[in-house]
């Protein structure tokens, strides 16, 4: 049986389509992949992270962005929308549109059952190629747990934080987030 050919796109074609689209899509190896919506807990966690980091960045040359900021992994065929992205220093963008960040310092992904394997696996493998990235942070939404991967030369060191009393330090951006604050409005056992 013959398989139908799947159309592939160039990065320029993707950006033209994406900038005109009503809904966001990621770009992976020439394919345009529609993004699904998130749950209430997912949204609350991401919003708390943005607020907590943003408050700590006031008056400093740092920025925090939600999932509207696209990130390009230059040599990895990936344009994606992390849940939260932080940068300290001068942001670098792909072009004059200023909507595709090239040099994130910290990326946060809020895990969901449908994306967890990808966030831990292939997506992280591609993110590791970003020279600017110092920390990759995975945030559970079914229990108070945050995993921080920190760059140490060519290696990535995992530190897990469990429980509402724990605090995650992010030295690269001069911030820290308490799990009690991150999960302040989350309803455990609610639909994710």
Domain locations in the chain? 38-182
Model confidence pLDDT, tens digit, residues 102-152: 999 999 999 998 889 999 999 999 999 999 999 999 999 999 999 999 999
Interatomic CA distance for residues 169 and 87, integer angstroms: 15
What would the DSSP string read from start to end of 171-183?
Answer: GGGTEEEEHHHHT
**Rg of the chain's alpha carbons, rounded to an integer?**
17
* Core vs surface per residue 99-119: b (16+ CB within 10 A) or e: ebbbbbbbbbbbbbeebeeeb
The pTM (predicted TM-score) of the whole model is: 0.92
Nearest to 172 by CA among 127, 80, 107, 120: 107
Residue 190 has a pLDDT of 53
In the CATH scheme, what is the homologous superfamily, with its name and number, of domain 38-182? tt1808, chain A (3.90.1570.10)
3-class SS of residue 94: coil
Length of the chain in terms of residues written: 192
């Amino acid at each position: 049986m013959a398989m139908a050919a799947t159309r592939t796109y160039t990065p320029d074609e993707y950006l033209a389509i994406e900038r005109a689209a009503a809904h966001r899509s990621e770009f992976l190896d020439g394919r345009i992949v529609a993004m699904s919506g998130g749950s209430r807990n997912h949204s609350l966690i991401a919003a708390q992270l943005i607020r907590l980091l943003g408050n700590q960045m006031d008056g400093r040359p740092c920025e925090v962005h939600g999932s509207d900021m696209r990130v390009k992994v230059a040599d990895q065929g990936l344009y994606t929308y992390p849940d939260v992205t932080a940068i300290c220093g001068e942001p670098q963008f792909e072009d004059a549109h200023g909507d595709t960040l090239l040099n994130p310092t910290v990326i946060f992904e809020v895990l969901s059952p449908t994306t967890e394997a990808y966030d831990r696996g292939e997506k992280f493998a591609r993110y590791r190629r970003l020279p600017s990235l110092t920390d990759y942070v995975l945030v559970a939404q079914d229990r108070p747990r945050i995993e921080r991967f920190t760059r140490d030369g060519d290696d990535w060191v995992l530190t897990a934080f469990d429980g509402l009393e724990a605090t995650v330090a992010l030295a690269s951006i001069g911030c820290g987030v308490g799990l009690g604050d991150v999960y302040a409005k989350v309803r455990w056992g609610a639909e994710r």
